[in-house]
């Protein structure tokens, strides 16, 4: 299935049972909730998906199940975050074999590569597969920035099509658009900058709190793209305290707690992550409870 890099693309969490196995039942519930809300794609195995803790067989199961659930309604994209070029190429080829429609690719993990090394890493992956690629540009968390000159080189490869823009610099959306026009699709990867990014020209939103609040996330996107800015801002202001749970080292635990509150997830995480404890747990729960209590009535916005 062709990937159209636009709209809301949830970076979904991986669900686990109490005995640390894949919880495919609750995972399916969440994927269906994303589809029902109008998500434009599903992204597996990102940070929220706890990819670093998943074995290859689990990734295979998740991709194949998601492909079955979505039934070609939307594309299925899997994250590539490996320590070596060899492993990244193997992961990309596996993803294609399992039925994924596209790849989101991080720079090399753990090694702070130079600009040249980073570009060659991305090129090697792109040349190993026919799948379209979205580069994940997140120098805040991963210490490597993909600059405009680097993108200029990378875009010589046709299958490199999009960027998950997570530099935290909102002006970078405009810089990318000025430099490359529509050749490079832009998806905001920071929940707390999503509306701003859409209003200055981003094509979509790789979202986190969408895992718990799919309809609200999609409604903000649709209102923004329809030019109904005041209405989008109303929902966004309600959403902001929840969105800030995504820009936190414990974002996985935070968002899984929110999924519990909305009935489409479980709290279980895979060690070394552990459920939130003490004062921090109470702080996060208070934010979630307040958000759920004040949840907007989306029927008021008459979005189709």
Q: pLDDT tens for residues 224-235?
A: 999 999 999 999
Q: How far apart, in Å, are the Cα atoms of 201 and each of 75, 79, 303?
A: 22, 24, 21
pLDDT in the model for residue 239: 98
Is 3.20.20.70 the CATH number for 7-228? Answer: yes
Q: Which residue has the tokens 């658009």?
A: 177
Both tokens of 60, joined, read: 């295979």
The 3-state DSSP class for residue 104 equals: strand
- 168 within 8 A of 144, measured Cβ to Cβ: no
Q: How far is CA 109 from the centre of its chain?
A: 18
First vs last C-alpha separation in the chain: 24
Q: Which residue has the tokens 């997570």?
A: 166
Which of 130, 128, 185, 111 has its CA nearest to residue 155?
Answer: 185
pLDDT in the model for residue 110: 86
Both tokens of 254, joined, read: 């935070």
Q: Is the peptide bond before 115 cis (omega within 30 degrees of 0)?
A: no
> Which residues in the chain come in under a pLDDT of 70?
304
- The torsion of the CA quartet 139, 195, 222, 186, rounded to 10 degrees, works out to -30
The domain locations on the chain are 7-228
pLDDT in the model for residue 149: 98
Residue 171: burial class (beta carbons within 10 Å; 0-12, 13-18, 19+)? exposed
């Amino acid at each position: 299935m062709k990937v159209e890099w636009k709209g809301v693309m949830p970076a979904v969490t991986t669900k686990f049972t109490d005995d640390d196995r894949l919880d495919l039942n609750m995972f399916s519930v969440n994927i269906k909730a994303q589809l029902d809300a109008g998500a434009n794609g599903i992204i597996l195995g990102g940070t929220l998906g706890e990819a670093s803790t998943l074995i290859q067989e689990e990734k295979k199961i998740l991709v194949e199940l998601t492909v079955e659930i979505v039934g070609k309604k939307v594309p299925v994209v899997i994250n590539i975050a490996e320590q070596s070029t060899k492993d990244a190429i193997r992961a990309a080829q596996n993803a294609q074999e399992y039925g994924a429609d596209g790849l989101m690719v991080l720079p090399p993990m753990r090694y702070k590569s130079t600009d040249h090394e980073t570009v060659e890493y991305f090129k090697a992956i792109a040349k190993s597969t026919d799948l379209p690629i979205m580069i994940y540009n997140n120098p805040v968390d991963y210490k490597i920035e993909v600059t405009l000159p680097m993108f200029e080189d990378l875009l010589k490869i046709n299958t490199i099509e999009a960027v998950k823009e997570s530099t935290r610099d909102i002006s970078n959306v405009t810089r990318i658009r000025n430099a490359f026009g529509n050749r490079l699709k832009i998806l905001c990867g920071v929940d707390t900058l999503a509306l701003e990014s859409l209003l200055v020209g981003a094509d979509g939103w790789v979202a986190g709190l969408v895992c718990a609040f799919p309809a609200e996330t999609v409604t903000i996107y649709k209102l923004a793209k329809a030019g109904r800015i005041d209405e989008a801002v109303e929902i966004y202001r309600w959403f902001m305290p929840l969105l800030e749970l995504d820009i936190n080292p414990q974002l996985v635990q935070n968002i899984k707690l929110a999924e519990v509150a909305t009935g489409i997830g479980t709290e279980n995480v895979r060690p070394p992550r552990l459920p939130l404890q003490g004062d921090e747990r109470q702080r996060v729960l208070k934010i979630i409870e307040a958000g759920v209590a004040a949840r907007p009535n989306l029927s008021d916005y008459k979005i189709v």
